[in-house]
Amino acid sequence: MSGYTIQSEGSKICVVMVGLPARGKSLIAQKIVRYLSWLSIPAKCFNVGNYRRLAAAHPTAEFFDINNPEGERLRRQAAEAAISDLFRWLEEENGMIAILDATNTTKARRDWILEICRRHDIEPMFVESWCDDEDLIMQNIMDVKTTSPDYIGQDPESAALDFRNRIRNYEKIYETIVETDITYVKLINVGSQVIINRIQSYLESRIVYYLMNLHIKPRCIWLSRHGESIFNLEGKIGGDSDLSSRGREYARQLPRLTRMSVGDRPLTVWTSTLKRTQQTAKYLPYRQLTWKALDELDAGQCDSLTYEDIESRYPEDFAARDENKYEYRYPGGESYRDVVIRLEPIIMELERQENIMIVTHQAVLRCIYAYFMNVPQDRSPWMEVPLHTLIKLEPKAYGTEVTTIKADIPAVSTYREKGQSSKKKH
């Protein structure tokens, strides 16, 4: 089931990335997929480089020279294979938004893709990342040389030199988008300026809205649940209880844990409106903002009950939630899907910001973590997010790096596995 009623004729989109290497195209493509998938809109990225690596796993810059006919043949072959799989997914597997992640730097290449798309009755949406910010380009080069599959096991400095030579080969033939008769978004220095042309559908407008909030500067997000609460000790869900003595100790130690990971970087802390998150963030020496959207999942008439109480009083609801935890809505309360919808403004603001720390609740952290890690909906409500643990997320071009820092402070486990009786430890 989709969170948005959009699966109608003509709603399928092929997003075509455009731009020189080291302009953040793959990061942007992956972010679009994560965002749409998080909103229950089927999206998938088809990276031409992955297809090309089947024939040329670790090519040098000469492979990308326009005067290298064998390199040109293999790159064209990879693009054809990616496009073939892309349309198979759209047409046979109920895909909605497919992203072709490649340089597509010439008008001739884009015209070829445009013609193929129109044969399939799909109007492509081109997304160009144009960048002349040398600091940003250099950071992307540093990122690529350490994370790109093309340079696995290679000396970092040699990889950086080769990658710069690859960029120069593409610069010789690069033609920025200037046509007025196609649908496109041009991102100038990712976030400084956005040019849009012929945006015609709801889904295209959603993608544009998302892209307008993006930047690709290096940054980290830190996530922490509130410290152990009185309700945690009592096995109750929801409510607005105070921290336990161990939870208060976590709050006192959190500044030290945070400094160990953050260093001297500027940081802003976001909390929910509930006491346990604000008490946990009390000693953090950073600017703090409170968000109602970060409040815990509303358990409705089950608020302040234990799982034993719920299983005893509402056995059908207890079983229904186990059956489909993402969609299940507490009577008078919320489902995980509802939480995702109210978190969308939080995600947009997160994408606009740089270093942010979020102190919030188990269900909310599961939804935020699922966004950054592209965790499927059927798994996200069952992820274990322990108390007294700081999670660092660092978005990269080819994925998000995760670091976990545990405080040496005991805490009750609030985790309950699927199908586990309420009478067992939760």
**CA angle, 363 then 364 then 365, to 5°:** 90
Residue 369's pLDDT is: 98
Distances (CA, A) of 10 to 121, 183, 202: 8, 15, 11
Q: Is 263 helix (H, G, I), strand (E, B) or coil?
A: coil
Give backbone dihedrals phi and psi of 314, rounded to 5 degrees, phi first.
-130, 65
Statement: residue 424 has pLDDT above 90: no
Mean pLDDT of 140-160: 85
Q: Which pair of structure tokens corresponds to residue 82?
A: 């990616």
pLDDT per residue as tens digits for the range 240-249: 999 999 999 9
Residue 5's pLDDT is: 42
For residue 161, the number of C-alpha atoms closer than 13 Å in the C-beta half-sphere is 5
Mean pLDDT of 285-310: 98
Rounded CA-CA distance 380/377 in Å is: 5
Mean pLDDT of 142-162: 86
* 424 or 20, higher pLDDT: 20
Rounded CA-CA distance 6/10 in Å is: 10
Q: Is 85 helix (H, G, I), strand (E, B) or coil?
A: helix
Sequence-ordered list of residues with C-beta below 8 angstroms from that of 155, at least 6 positions apart, any chain: none
CA dihedral for 282, 218, 28, 187, sign (positive or negative): positive
pLDDT per residue as tens digits for the range 351-373: 999 999 999 999 999 999 999 99
Q: Which pair of structure tokens corresponds to residue 355?
A: 């270093």
DSSP-assigned letter for residue 298:
P
Rounded CA-CA distance 19/25 in Å is: 7
Sequence-ordered list of residues with C-beta below 8 angstroms from that of 402, at least 6 positions apart, any chain: 373, 391, 392, 393, 394
Residue 7: pLDDT band (50, 70, 90) is very low
Q: Is 360 helix (H, G, I), strand (E, B) or coil?
A: strand
The residue to which tokens 């489902």 are assigned: 335
Task: Please answer whether residues 28 and 187 qualify as being in contact, where contact means their C-beta atoms are separated by less than 8 angstroms.
Answer: yes
Statement: residue 205 has pLDDT above 80: yes
Residue 251: pLDDT band (50, 70, 90) is very high
Statement: residue 144 has pLDDT above 90: no
Mean pLDDT of 84-89: 98
Residue 422's pLDDT is: 58
The residue to which tokens 């410290």 are assigned: 227
Q: Which pair of structure tokens corresponds to residue 383?
A: 């992820």
The residue to which tokens 């921290």 are assigned: 243
Percent of the chain whose predicted confidence (pLDDT) is above 70: 96
Statement: residue 103 has pLDDT above 80: yes
What's the whole-number average pLDDT of the chain? 93
First to last CA, the chain: 29
Active site residues: 101, 226, 296
Closest listed residue to residue 90, CA positions, set 15, 184, 4: 15
pTM: 0.90
| CA-CA-CA-CA dihedral for 302, 345, 289, 333, to nearest 10 | -10
Residue 305's pLDDT is: 97
Residue 1's pLDDT is: 40
Residue 399's pLDDT is: 78
CB atoms within 10 A of CB 199: 16
Amino acid in position 217: K
Strand partners, 127: 17, 185
